[in-house]
Chains A and B, each alone.
Chain A
Amino acid sequence: MAGQDVTDTQRLRDLEAMLDAITDYKVIKLGPDGNIATWNRGGELLTGYSAGEVIGQHVSIFYTEEDKRSGLAERELQTAREAGRFEFEGWRVRKDGEHFWASVILTPIVDADGTPGGYVKVTRDLTERREQELRLERQREEIMELSTPVIQVWDGVLALPIIGTLDSVRAARLTEGLLERIGDSQAQIVILDISGVPTIDTQVAQHLLKTVQAATLMGAASILSGVRPETAQAMVHLGIDIGQMKSRNTLRDALQLALQMIHERASARAMAMPLGTE
């Protein structure tokens, strides 16, 4: 039996050494109540806490104040218990208060006799990857903004050259950007130039019509320009009805029409105002 004990002790030491060798991951055991039972070197490197500081503490010491208040730790343990596993990515807090983006896997441990024996929790610091993702997202947004420019081509006339394929995300941005500009510049006419759009399908047309409707509600009239013969054919075959919207073949013609419309509106305004008030 003594030999067995030595082997067991040796095996335990080996296990501990192995866990401590994992420096990139925090690998810890939690008791059934969520209190920290074991600690490894990876945990120390990641959170800044030593074993003495955390053993016996509740696992929520690594959580943000908000997560603590919402009882995230309890929910995690419950999910792991019920589903056999819990996976999560989110912000956690180091000893010095710094936040890190953690990838967490929580698994319940069942003892040999079938009773719950707590949990094993593996945590990895993915802050760098997260920052990279955020950077990419920002870049994507910047590119998106660059790809939907609104140009003031004349007093009261905005032009929106649409280039490339319009998906729903881009279309939403485009609508938003255009309406903001209409509000800021109080432009009365908007020229939507679609000569740079490779194909007009029903969805793209729907997006454009919605944009036009929203602009109309704000009080700006829209002119479509740059409709190529094949686009015109496609639109008619798809049964796309542009309603009252005016359309011109080139941006030049569209601008001419815009100036004419502004002139007409100005004379109507002169009529509306008694002499001398303007």
Chain B
Amino acid sequence: MAETPIVRIGETLIVTLRGDLDDATVVSIEADVSREVERARATGTLIDVSGLLMVDSFIARVLARMAGMIRLLGSQVAVVGIQPAVAITLVELGVPMGHLDTALNAEQGLALLARLRADDARRA
């Protein structure tokens, strides 16, 4: 089981999901990510899924769950690098992903996080 890399840049965390994710892996990733968001006082988290070439409803739920968890910890979330086949599957599965903020790549994801932080501050 490969370790999930979590990189911290300033107040932003970058989490890279890849390969086969099973229940046990997912639980340990969730624990790692939430601990790291808390420890680093991250205001933005980027989840890079460009390494995921296939998804099922399980992974879709995991993504939604992870985003919810990170938001609860006070960080904005952007999912980047969703592959074409994955996007089609998610839409066909009908998993509600409307509340996920997405961007094409890490660079645009950082810009998106900046926008989300600004919106959040304005609302507050």
Chain A interface residues toward B at CB < 8 A: 175-176, 179-180, 182-183, 186-188, 210, 213-220, 265, 268-269, 271-273
Contacts and interface: CB of A to CB of B under 8 A. Distances in A.
25 contacts: A175-B88, A176-B88, A179-B84, A182-B84, A187-B104, A214-B84, A214-B88, A217-B82, A217-B86, A217-B100, A218-B84, A218-B104, A219-B80, A219-B82, A219-B104, A219-B108, A220-B104, A265-B108, A265-B111, A268-B111, A269-B110, A269-B111, A271-B111, A272-B113, A273-B110
Contacts of B121: none
Given A210-B91, A214-B90, A271 B102 contact: no
A214 B87 contact: yes
Contacts of B111: 265, 268-269, 271-272
Interface string B97-115: 1001011110111111111
B83 interface: yes
Contacts of A217: 82, 86-87, 90-91, 97, 100, 102
A271 B121 CA distance: 15
A214 B104 CA distance: 12
A211 to B, nearest CB: 8
Q: Top 4 closest A-B pairs, CB basis?
A: A179-B84, A272-B114, A269-B111, A214-B87
A186 B90 CA distance: 20
Contacts of A269: 107-108, 110-111, 114
Contacts of B97: 217
A220 B104 CA distance: 7
Contacts of B103: 219
Contacts of B107: 269
Contacts of A175: 88
A265 B111 CA distance: 7
Interface in B14-67: none
A215 B86 CA distance: 11
Contact of B104 (A188, A210, A272): A188
A61 to B, nearest CB: 41
Nearest to A271: B114
Nearest to A273: B110
Most B C-beta atoms less than 10 A away, residue of A179, A180, A218: A218
A103 to B, nearest CB: 37
A31 B103 CA distance: 67
Contact of A188 (B82, B83, B108, B113): B108
Contacts of B88: 175-176, 179, 214
A271 B112 CA distance: 10
B91 A213 contact: yes
A218 B50 CA distance: 10
A268 B113 CA distance: 9
Contacts of A271: 111, 114, 118
